[in-house]
Chain A
Amino acid sequence: MARAYAWAAALASGALLMGSLAGCSGVVEDPISADLDRAQAGLALDFATLMDSEGFVANPDGGGSRPLDMYSTAWLLTLADSIGIEAQVAPFDDAAVADAAGLATELGVPDAWRAWSWMVLVDHGADTLDDAREALAKGDVYDSQAPVDDRAVALWVASHMESRLEGGSSYPGDLDADVRQAIGSPNLSVTTTWLLWEACGLVNARCDRPSPAWQLPATLDAQAILDWASAAELDAAGLSVAGYHPSPDVAAREFSALSEGSDLIAEQLTRILVLEGASTQTAQEYWERSMDRRDAVTGVFRQYVEMRGTIETTYEARAALGAAFDGFIEDSPTRDSVRDILNTRSRELGMPAVAKAVAIMTPWGEEPPQQYGPLIDAVRAEYDGEEFAGTDGAAAIDATFVLAGLGVDTPTFSVAPVPIETATERYALLELQAAYSGLLANGDQVIEYYAEFVNDLPSRIEQDGSDSPFFVARIGVLDYLDTDLSQAWWTAVEGDVADLKGCEGLPHMIARDSARTNGCDVNLSAAVVNTSVGIRTLGVDDA
């Protein structure tokens, strides 16, 4: 995410507008076109920060805080410990405990790891272990029939709690004996061996010395990194690990390529760097980047969420940017990703999504690539000849707008007008747009049916303002009408649109509400920049 495209910057700075601006070349441009160029340039800058690694544009979430993630926090605090950073968390109040425990339950964090997480948090300033004790009190944590990996983790956690906490672990059996028995099991992985060997030391159990073996594989996966860190730990603890040789350069390289939010693996790679005597600069940088998700009150890290784009939202970005979209995606893998989906999984998509994917593949102003002709035919055939009842025509209209934009034949179908209610107004506005655009077989009937509603539209807009969820669709319909509305009325609506412009970090997009409690929206931004009042408002020269 947050890829700053040179192209977008150039567009925003006006470099691509030169020659079209009045006075630059002696050609005076239509002021509407200049406003549109400016509005699109601003949106391109914002959209560039929303593009994911596969080239899809993501729609921002609602902006609410994610839950406190104590499992990730525990790994990050352990990472900090390893590189000498003193990190603390604040004592938890009941709400924070409920928040953190709720996420752990929702995501199915294993009880042993939940208990370990609390223990680490308490080591760093938290003051409750009730949730940890509850987790460890569950019988299945110490199930002797559990896979050896899981059993080793449970014994390791219990040993840590036994040695570090007042009141011990409340382990239900003979921890010493069970640890000794477990480390004698055959065919232990080097990771399991390390967990149990450390447990032996923590509870002073007289365990037999294991003879682990491990060597760096040609390709690294999660298990390999866990094993590598464990081999390094065992080596540092004085046990000989056959085949193990320090490879700090490989670890540093792996760390540099690590995805954000991979906190467990980041901590394991940090341990490798520390134990193998390498620079921990990458770990320091990872820690600093993670500050973005640290809760200011508790010091606990919130759940990391990767924002991913979609075909739908990427198509809306195209609709917003128009001809500028091709430049916008020029250096991104957008079309490669969409091509892959169309080639391998188009049957999983609904027809509107298929049409939008084809649109993304089509350079602005050109005909769709020939190989997608059958897909376009399939979209058309899906709706051709249909008579949609209720609000069932929504998908057909959505897909048909896309086909119309591509300049290909559209399906012939009719829709039933619906009584205007809060639950149906959005659909009614969609039907009206389709009717005015000549996309419906019964367009005249639809326009006639909604005549009273259309007459009432300006007063609805005036009365409900920009916080109505239908505001953008309503002003969109106005553009199809020859109105006699006063300049003062339009100025007021422009003010309503201006009230929605910009969110934190996305100054050019349209917000979902004027209070900014729900973030900004790509789809709404696309809709607004395609209205006359939207162009005038978003195209204001902020400079």
Chain B
Amino acid sequence: MRKRKLVGSLVVAIAATALAAAPASANSDSDSATYGTYKMSTYAYIDSWAGWDNCGKFNTYAKTNKTVAALTHSIEWDPIGVGASANVKGVGLAISGNNTGSPTLSFTNKNATSASISGTACASWSTIYLGVFSTGSTKIGGHYLTSTSHV
């Protein structure tokens, strides 16, 4: 086959984007729960492109705008696609699987305004999109507050 000059040239001019959809996602800073002046946000950043084995660095955290006695940040990976899976390494935390088998991580920081987790996430070749559920949880006046976002 030769290079094509017909419809393709129009299409490519429009595209200017890599058509091989990336397996990993990008970043979000979400004020996922706001109660008046009290804010609890979750943030997730995943390198949009992985190197070998579809792996990419990630950094996620939950944060509050006021110091709390304990802030728990949990993440649950969401590999999407037929037969998709993900694994995580280099986080320095115990990695567990949830009821769907996705790796989950949790970290609690005391007397803090943020709790973060970083490391490397790897998606299987059949993963079309690697999402993440990111949760922040804390207690206010003895009451448990939590919020979860998905990027």
Contact = CB atoms under 8 A, between A and B. Distances in A.
Ranked nearest first, the 9 interchain pairs of A and B with the lowest CB-CB distance are A405-B16, A312-B26, A476-B19, A149-B142, A479-B8, A221-B38, A530-B15, A473-B20, A220-B36
Interface stretch (A18-26, A60-68, A128-136): A60-68
24 contacts: A32-B7, A107-B137, A191-B143, A220-B35, A264-B144, A304-B147, A305-B150, A310-B25, A310-B27, A349-B27, A390-B52, A394-B50, A398-B22, A402-B16, A402-B17, A405-B15, A423-B53, A479-B8, A480-B8, A482-B1, A482-B2, A482-B5, A512-B80, A519-B80
Interface of A: 32, 36, 52-54, 56, 58-59, 61-62, 64, 67, 71, 98-99, 102, 106-110, 113, 147, 149-150, 152-153, 189, 191-192, 195, 219-227, 254, 258-259, 261-262, 264-265, 303-313, 315-316, 319, 322, 341, 345, 348-350, 352-353, 356, 390-392, 394-395, 397-398, 401-402, 404-406, 422-423, 425-427, 429-430, 433-434, 436-437, 454-455, 467, 469-470, 472-473, 476-483, 512-513, 517-519, 521, 523-524, 526-527, 530-532, 535
A436 B3 contact: yes
Interface in B87-120: 98-100, 104, 106, 108
B7 A479 contact: yes
Nearest to A222: B35
Nearest to A190: B141
Interface of B: 1-8, 10-12, 14-23, 25-38, 45, 47-54, 57, 59, 66, 69, 72, 74, 76, 78, 80-82, 84, 98-100, 104, 106, 108, 125-129, 131, 133, 135, 137, 139-151
Of the candidates B36, B38, B45, B131, the one having the most CB atoms from chain A within 10 angstroms of its own CB is: B36
Nearest to B128: A512
Centre residue among B27, B48, B59, B146 by max chain A CB count within 10 A? B48
B20 A433 contact: yes
A262 B35 contact: yes
Given A99-B99, A109-B137, 19 more contacts: A54-B29, A110-B139, A223-B38, A259-B34, A265-B35, A305-B150, A312-B25, A322-B14, A353-B48, A394-B51, A423-B53, A469-B128, A472-B20, A473-B19, A513-B82, A521-B128, A526-B17, A527-B17, A532-B8
B139 A401 contact: no
Nearest to A98: B99
Given A99-B99, A313-B26, A223 B5 contact: no
B135 A524 contact: no
A310 B151 contact: yes
Contacts of A425: 125
A106 B104 contact: yes
B17 A530 contact: yes
A481 to B, nearest CB: 4
Contact of B99 (A61, A102, A306, A523): A102
A397 B148 contact: no
Nearest to A396: B49
A437 B83 CA distance: 32
Given A106-B106, A402-B16, A426-B23, A308 B36 contact: no
B80 A61 contact: yes
A426 B20 contact: yes
A56 to B, nearest CB: 7
Contacts of A227: 141
Nearest to B7: A532
Contact of A394 (B25, B49, B129): B49
A398 B144 contact: no
B141 A531 contact: no
A427 B104 CA distance: 27
A531 B11 contact: yes
Given A313-B25, A523-B21, A530-B17, A395 B49 contact: yes
B74 A107 contact: yes
B21 A524 contact: yes
Contacts of B48: 312, 350, 352-353, 356, 395, 398
A54 B8 contact: no
Contact of A108 (B35, B108, B125): B108
B4 A469 contact: no
Contacts of B16: 319, 401-402, 404-406
Nearest to A435: B3
B81 A149 contact: no
A311 B26 CA distance: 6
B141 A430 contact: no
A322 to B, nearest CB: 6
Contact of A64 (B14, B28, B69, B100): B100
A152 B139 CA distance: 13
Q: Which of A59, A258, A402 has the most CB of B within 10 A?
A: A59
A307 B134 CA distance: 10
A106 B144 contact: no
B51 A392 contact: yes
B123 to A, nearest CB: 11
Contact of A259 (B6, B33, B81, B142): B33
